[in-house]
Amino acid sequence: MDSLICRMINNSKKYCDQLDICCGFKKQHNYIGVDIDINSQADIIADLNKIWPFKDNTFNKIRAYDAIEHLINPIHIMNEIWRISKYNAEIDIFVPSTDGRGAFQDPTHVSYWNLNSFWYYVINNPILFKIGRSYGFKGCFTIKNKSDIYNEECEEFDVSGIIYTRVKMFAVKKRM
């Protein structure tokens, strides 16, 4: 892997099967953090608009809070999340929804998401999943739960009046 694309910041040898995508300055404890910002708390610096610097079937849990909206290609994002997920890995996504202004107000947001965006990647909706396949999606997820979160409903995050979509899903794969 090109050292300009991926660089280990903390030379920790500790293995971890949890990934915090675009962790910024809020990397979760016991997670490997990945971000493009060299000043972030990331363990790995990488441009996630390219092939992600992880082997197939690496992670049991993937967290993407305020992350995927900063990445250009939704199909690529979901393909890479699926590729690096282990069998039945839990994926937890928290993203500004297009149902509110938050998706559009940040000039660094380059992809746009809402509750319906995820139907193209999950077997819960066979018709849209088939369309997702025709668009180039290669993986398969199943939704555990999904909801829109409003400021007054959210104590865990300071969402400042922004509507967020939160999706929890599992990677559907064969056991390795």
pLDDT score of 97: 95
156 falls within a domain: yes
**Better-scored residue on pLDDT, 152 or 109:** 109
Per-residue pLDDT of 125-136, as tens digits, reads 999 999 999 999
Per-residue pLDDT of 70-103, as tens digits, reads 999 999 999 999 999 999 999 999 999 999 888 9
Distances 138 to 119, 129, 134, 135, 156 between C-alpha atoms, Å: 14, 10, 9, 9, 33
Residue 154, pLDDT > 60, answer no
43 falls within a domain: no
4 falls within a domain: no
70, 109 in Cβ contact below 8 A?
yes
5 falls within a domain: no
Q: What are phi and psi of 97, to 5 degrees?
A: -85, 145
CATH code at position 82: 3.40.50.150
167 falls within a domain: yes
150, 158 in Cβ contact below 8 A?
no
What the block records as the tokens of 27 is 């990397």
Angle, vertex CA 53, rays to CA 47 and CA 59, nearest 5: 120
Number of structural domains found in the chain: 1
Residue 24, pLDDT > 60, answer yes
**Residue 90 sits in which domain range?**
58-171
